[in-house]
Amino acid sequence: MASTNLNIRTDTDIKESAEKIFAELGLNMSSAVNIFLRQTIRENGIPFRLKLDVPTKETAAAIEEGRRIAHDDTAGGYKSIEELREALGS
């Protein structure tokens, strides 16, 4: 099989972090990139899901509220499901 060179540019920090992970897996950068390329061919596309994990305004507000409550020592809580049901009037 003939081989060719592939030159890419990336941030130094990203390269170094990736190399550490690859080394732990027993791989070098070249082997890891070749695995990615072969898997791309097998999948006929990027071999992982590409998405934007941007929550809606409502979800972001709920996350912020949850974080606030989690760190609020004055926020009440429940020790059992029965206590929660009683508080909800269920």
> Which pLDDT tens digit goes with each residue over 28-66?
999 999 999 999 999 999 999 888 888 899 999 999 999
In this predicted structure, what is the pLDDT of residue 90?
72
Evaluate whether residue 30 is within a structural domain: yes
Cα angle 48-53-31, degrees, rounded to a multiple of 5: 25
Evaluate whether residue 52 is within a structural domain: yes
For residue 42, what are the domain limits? 9-73
The pLDDT > 90 percentage for the chain reads 72
Structural contact between residues 47 and 40, judged by C-beta atoms closer than 8 angstroms: yes
Evaluate whether residue 90 is within a structural domain: no
Q: What global pTM score does this model have?
A: 0.55
Task: State yes or no: pLDDT of 9 exceeds 90.
Answer: yes
Cα angle 8-50-24, degrees, rounded to a multiple of 5: 60
In this predicted structure, what is the pLDDT of residue 58?
95
Centroid of chain to Cα 32: 19
Evaluate whether residue 4 is within a structural domain: no
Evaluate whether residue 57 is within a structural domain: yes
Evaluate whether residue 2 is within a structural domain: no
CA–CA dist 21, 64 (Å, integer):
32
Evaluate whether residue 25 is within a structural domain: yes
Evaluate whether residue 41 is within a structural domain: yes
Count up the domains in the chain and report the number: 1
